[in-house]
Amino acid sequence: MKIFITGADGALGKEMQQILHKNSISYVASDLNQLDIADFKKANETLLKHRPDIILHFAAISNVDYCEENKDLAFHVNALGTYGLAIIARKIGAKILYVSTNFVFDGSEEKSYAEYSQTNPVNEYGKTKLLGEHYIKDICDRSYIVRTSCLFSKYSKTYISKFLVAKDKPSSMNAICDLFVSFTYTVDLAEAIFSIIKTENYGIFHLVNKGFGAWIDFAIKAQELLKFKTIINPTKVEELNLSAPRPRFTPLDSKNYEFLFHKTLRPWEEALKDFLRSFQK
């Protein structure tokens, strides 16, 4: 098995490399400095040279507000870049796994979204990622689409992940209290992806840790475990004046993964404990 990773320097990419290395799997790690996926000619040349058995497509512009402010670029990278990789995967006979997002949903329902739920993104990031899904499904017979949500890890660049890893914490912080999501520990996500790509069980999978909450719930649980003194201020998303609209309620339900693999990802609270232990060491 030979694997090619796009977006390898991101939080999930770094976690995935550790798992592949541990399992003695041959892989090529690529990020923007090595390969711009929006450059089809270069991507085609690179993948024809390496001819991997599996492409793990993690690369994307994932900053939601940046996508809203740079719509053409977001479309070019997230949608067209994925379109190109799908064509190349079919050409070389490779499997492809594409990581998508809970933001393909509009958040209007009061229940978690399953893989078959109706998509209706409300921002440019969600729209471009959904277009990527369509390209993967339409072009590649041997494909996996993994939707996930709110990654956290020692490699993550999210506000709260960076806050928790920092030794010197501020006296107060804001945490969103009115958007409800699933949380996902990249260690658990990477292990689940590794399980999936070893099979022919193609399709859409929601991979998130069990349970859901707002970021304030995550921060309060972390405070309970770490005993830091920072005051956590509940903040409504409208107070932040963000460029992109956010769906209000987008927890994910992992029905397909549980049915096919007889596994669930542990509750996010348990995963958070492991995450905190990992950098305390």
Tell me, yes or no, if the pTM score tops 0.75.
yes
Residue 33's pLDDT band (boundaries 50, 70, 90)? confident
Domain ranges, ordered by start, for the chain: 2-151+185-208+250-265
Distance CA 257, CA 115 (A): 10
Length of the chain: 281
Residues of the chain above pLDDT 70, percent: 99
How do residues 211-256 score in pLDDT, each as one tens digit? 999 999 999 999 999 999 999 999 999 999 999 999 999 999 999 9
Q: Which tens digits make up the pLDDT trace of 91-145?
A: 999 999 999 999 999 999 889 999 999 999 999 999 999 999 999 999 999 999 9
Q: Binning pLDDT at 50, 70 and 90, where does residue 206 land?
A: very high
Q: What tens digit of pLDDT does each residue of 141-163 get?
A: 999 999 999 999 988 878 888 88
Architecture of domain 2-151+185-208+250-265: 3-Layer(aba) Sandwich (3.40)
Cα separation, 43 vs 99, whole angstroms = 18
| Spatial distance between the Cα atoms of 208 and 253, rounded to a whole number of angstroms | 8
The overall average pLDDT reported for the chain is 96
Q: What is the mean pLDDT of residues 64-69?
A: 98
Non-local CB neighbours of 64 within 8 Å, separated by 6+ positions: 103, 123, 125, 242, 244, 246
The mean pLDDT of 44-49, rounded to a whole number, is 97
Give the confidence band of 64 by pLDDT, cuts at 50, 70, 90: very high
Identify the pLDDT of residue 168: 85
Sign of CA dihedral 242, 78, 19, 198: positive
What's residue 158's pLDDT?
A: 80
Q: Which phi and psi (to 5°) does residue 85 adopt?
A: -65, -35
Whether 99 and 143 have beta carbons less than 8 Å apart is answered as no
**Is the per-residue pLDDT at 281 higher than 80?**
no
| DSSP-based three-state secondary structure for 119 | coil
